[in-house]
Amino acid sequence: MKETISNSKSVFLFSTISWRVTLAIVLASLCVANLFSQTPSPTPQDKRGLGIENNPANTSQTDQSKSRETKPELVLQTGYNNFFGATRLIFSPDGRLLATATFRSSTIKLWETATGRELRDLSTGGQNTNGLAPVIAFSRDGRFLAAAAGNNSVKIWDVTTGGEVQTLSGAQASFMAALGVSFIGFSADGKKLVTMSDALRIWDVPSWREIKTIETTSLNPSSFTGGQGGVALSSDGNQLARVEGSGSKITVLDLVTGREARSINLEHDLDNSLELCSTSDGRLLAAGIVEKRLKVWDLTAKQSERDLTPTTHDFSKVQFSPDGRFVALAEGYTVKAWEVATGRVLTPLNIPNIGVFAENGGVFLGFSNDGKRVATGGFGTQTANEGSQQSVLFRLI
């Protein structure tokens, strides 16, 4: 039976001038880019499947000796005909596929990471009102791909065939619903799917039936611009942690009862830069920028804080690897990464770009599930010779 539980409301605020300016630049760019926006044309279903080899080729000793280098492994031409490039990059759990999305497009592209081959386009068939980057998630077994679609809905595809499996629709008549879906997450056992828009909705995957609704007005704007949205789902799918208000409070919800399990207050106002990660061993991690310094917290037991580096801006893209082993900071066209447990810094990644957006442009990134690779894309990352957008895969360790 479907239940509806009302939780305490939190106000959605842009809490700093710098974030307002950043969002204004993005939205203004979107209006211009709308003149050049593409009409998605999904690839017909391929009955042959994706054609991925079941047994990847053995890695040579030479390749193994280079595994710790941070130079690009390969370049994937993302094929978007706008200047944004890929602004959402999500690896499949086994790392063999990469799903990408971009601003002002309802097309999700699937790539084979071993070869850089584009496998197919999947169209969500509509855009959210804001036209920003749709969120994407693979099921933990890699069988399904879910993506935010228009009209506050989520589309599900079978990854192997490319066939659409289901459309999951939320309410329509509210401001939050108009903004669309800002979070999608599968439980580790694959039995539950959690979506967040005007409400938290929990879906039974085998039947695709909505089994619980938890009302909410909480929203972190980074979810629409390539970030993780300040939301983390536990591996069992029973708890969801989310950032509230200006980022100084984190609420952990029990999705079984719909009640607040606990709340965590940070001593800092993180101005919507806070990101969360729930690891497979049950730890809850947080990272954000405080007075132009990147900090990481382990919130599992006694709260610990680690200061990693000064930053150029009050707000920059911060992202954890899915396993919580690494955290990355993207400022301009440089990605810096650290090992969370030790604070060890990795070699910075300097992303190829045309230099036009050196000050206000930026890189979007996504980690592989094992934390060993990161895919990047974004504004002005096209090749000088061909003028086409690209995603570059780097090996981090």
Say what the pLDDT of residue 389 is. Answer: 55
Say what the pLDDT of residue 51 is. Answer: 47
- Provide the terminal-to-terminal Cα distance of the chain, rounded to the nearest Å: 47
Say what the pLDDT of residue 85 is. Answer: 77
Inter-residue contact 371 to 321 (CB < 8 Å): yes
**Is the pLDDT score of 223 beyond 60?**
no
Q: Classify the C-alpha dihedral 12-17-21-26 as positive or negative.
A: negative
Say what the pLDDT of residue 3 is. Answer: 44
Q: Supply the DSSP symbol for 345.
A: B
Beta bridge mates, 327:
320, 338
Q: Cα 140–146–147 angle (5° rounding)?
A: 140
Q: Could you give the domains of the chain?
A: 15-20+72-395 (2.130.10.10)
Give the number of other CB atoms < 10 A from CB of residue 29.
Answer: 18
Confidence tier at 27 by pLDDT (50, 70, 90) = very low
Residue 118 CB-density burial (10 A; 0-12 exposed, 13-18 middle, 19+ buried): middle
Q: Higher model confidence: residue 190 or residue 42? A: 190
Q: Higher model confidence: residue 218 or residue 189? A: 189
Taking only the tens place, the pLDDT of each residue in 372-395 is: 888 888 776 654 344 455 667 777
pTM metric for this prediction: 0.79
d(CA 306, CA 301): 15
d(CA 305, CA 123): 42
Taking only the tens place, the pLDDT of each residue in 302-312 is: 778 899 999 88
**What's the average model confidence in pLDDT over 266-284?**
81
Q: Which of 122-126, 167-171, 211-215 has the lowest mean pLDDT?
A: 122-126
Q: Which of 133-142, 242-251, 308-317 has the lowest mean pLDDT?
A: 242-251
**Is the pLDDT score of 47 beyond 60?**
no
Say what the pLDDT of residue 33 is. Answer: 38
